[in-house]
Chains A and B, each alone.
Chain A
């Protein structure tokens, strides 16, 4: 598969989570197939945060859910530590994936509205037949910045969006996970609360020794929290690079388009109204994705090769991998 490749994977011994050739497809009307994720590979090291960046429809959420087997991927492998998660019975999957917890975009609808905070936090261990002590619940509530005395008897509708997201993080922590998967955890929150939650996730990661997969569409947010960033487009990987290099060294034409589209709060831009740039076009249908490189229908550097041959990820710098024929060092000069 192209726009993919495995050049960016690290040695097996260092991986906490390893995903290879992940494919997620959904049946659509008329015998068609939605190609949500088309053969992507990535890994996460101990204590590392991998940011997955892309616009709606790029397959980033489908990829995140496939890690949790929600639903299981069409094909490919997901390995957590030494355990393979795909192709197992439902019960075995449940046992093995408990070490991986997920936080969703809408914190309010991911909590049972009829339960109280104390029960919501205790729910995870209870499912595994372990009764959490009051001390444990209070400790985890305090760790996420909630006052146990205040919220103990409350139900989700009595909390703000930010407090609900803190509660979701507390629930995840009760199961002592190795990996936390966050799917747009701050995009429904106001900027002041967004900063609180991003800081909390950073602190929690250090304190509990977690690895993280952070899925979001906001470039600055992803850069702030990640060590490594993977940019996705229409079910494929465009580029993988260290978070620190995102703004200055990203090479893929799609990553550049994203960077140029971000409205930044700087005095200089406010003065000029921002530089004008070429129109970006529209996302093609995932029912019938373009051949070769999937970005070619919107790409300013497109050549005939792009339609015929799918680009593979190749190393272009330290920890920097690129899937493009016409950008980066050693590219064939564009017409």
Chain B
């Protein structure tokens, strides 16, 4: 999570050899009474060991559906159709049987959800949440599982872990509950952790503690993290790479520093300008993005951001722009791609 750019390159190099996660042309179509919604519309990326990908977007952009589809929580059925491929540690998630998926969840991949209260069973003690998978998966007996559960709670920074094992979720604060959820996700040392808005329900000082905790655990365990958030600040300081989503598609992806320094897609630029900054004086007028995200049953033809885009030209509404590599002085910028016909900060490209 914290690394120099040299280390970053090294990581992306490693990612090419043995990616923990491969997502290839993933599409999730949700069938609703009003019509079909293309919630995830052709997304591809890879994630290497020890790497963090931040996924940002506003509500309805499809970032949570993406996370859940990768997990295999959303599969083809009466209410939705999933196409494309997801490989986690080499396993094709959407080809697994129900029992193989159970093996995968909490094994190779862990997930942390936004609301720590609903992610925990209110009538079961904290200890049961942790020992259940340890006993089933690792074949531990009760005392062994309990000892390991206490270790896990200590690992995520919960004081008096032995006592906490016998408490119910409602006896813990929000931050403590989220630590328990993280401990559950880490119980079997997953290769991939999908964190969907892990700190959104928490206060800013607690958010800092949880994000620091994830960074420390990543260093210790070497897992890959997919960090989904609507908060650009959370992602900026924590991700190696960032993907910006709009209306089911990735509109721009780059190394975190490059993306926030010189975004090429007008939507990324508009998002960055819309957030108030602490270093600005009070009463600075914010550059709001006019309009609202498109109706996803009948999204605009061409670029989906075009109706709200201040740089839109007639060609934007003809065909959707593809996600192509960024160029600087005729040379491809590694890792930076965007989908726009009229990019900003692109040096007259």
Which A residues fall within an 8 A CB radius of B?
A: 55-56, 160, 162, 190-196, 198-199, 202, 217-221, 223-227, 243-244, 246-247, 257-267, 269-274, 276-277, 279-280, 282-283
Contacts and interface: CB of A to CB of B under 8 A. Distances in A.
A195 B292 contact: no
Contact of B232 (A226, A265, A271, A274): A265
Contacts of A244: 281-282
Contacts of B209: 279-280
B328 interface: no
B205 to A, nearest CB: 4
B117 to A, nearest CB: 14
A264 B278 contact: yes
Nearest to B61: A190
A154 B131 CA distance: 52
Nearest to B282: A243
A158 to B, nearest CB: 13
A217 B282 contact: no
A190 B290 CA distance: 12
11 contacts: A191-B232, A193-B292, A218-B204, A224-B284, A226-B282, A257-B205, A261-B204, A264-B233, A264-B237, A264-B278, A282-B173
A270 B256 contact: yes
B283 interface: yes
B278 A262 contact: yes
Nearest to A276: B212
B323 interface: no
B147 interface: no
B233 A202 contact: no
A244 B282 CA distance: 6
Contact of B236 (A220, A266, A282): A266
Contacts of A277: 208
B104 to A, nearest CB: 30
A269 B237 contact: yes
Interface in B257-278: 257, 259-261, 270-272, 274-278
A247 B5 CA distance: 29
Given A273-B1, A280-B208, A265 B276 contact: no
A191 B275 contact: yes
Most B CB contacts (10 A, CB to CB) among A192, A225, A244 go to A192
B286 A199 contact: yes
B237 A220 contact: no
Contact of A273 (B205, B232, B237): B237
A273 B282 contact: no
B233 A263 contact: yes
Interface size, B (range)? 35 or more
B24 interface: no
B182 to A, nearest CB: 15
Given A220-B277, A225-B282, A273-B238, A265 B270 contact: no
Contacts of B257: 267, 270-271
Nearest to B271: A191
A263 B234 contact: yes
A263 B274 contact: no
B322 to A, nearest CB: 24
B3 A273 contact: yes
B175 interface: yes
Contacts of A262: 204, 233, 278
Contacts of B211: 263
Contact of B2 (A56, A191, A198, A274): A274
Contacts of A194: 274-275
A156 B283 CA distance: 30
A202 B204 contact: no
Interface string B222-236: 000000001111101
A224 B232 contact: no
Nearest to A282: B173
Interface in B196-210: 203-209
Contacts of A247: 278-279
A189 to B, nearest CB: 9
A285 B349 CA distance: 58
B80 interface: no
B316 to A, nearest CB: 19
A190 B236 contact: no
Which 4 A-B residue pairs are closest in the complex by CB-CB distance? A273-B2, A263-B233, A195-B288, A192-B289
Interface in B281-316: 281-290, 292
Given A269-B237, A274-B237, A198 B286 contact: yes
B274 A191 contact: yes
Nearest to A203: B285
Contacts of B189: none
B58 interface: yes
Most B CB contacts (10 A, CB to CB) among A56, A195, A272 go to A195
A220 B203 contact: no
Given A162-B292, A270-B237, A280 B278 contact: no
A199 B282 contact: no
Most A CB contacts (10 A, CB to CB) among B2, B256, B274, B278 go to B278
B344 interface: no
Nearest to A221: B276
B215 interface: yes
B9 interface: no
Nearest to B237: A274
A194 B231 CA distance: 12
A198 B288 CA distance: 9
Most A CB contacts (10 A, CB to CB) among B58, B157, B209, B237 go to B237
Contacts of A266: 236, 260
Given A220-B277, A282-B173, A191 B58 contact: yes
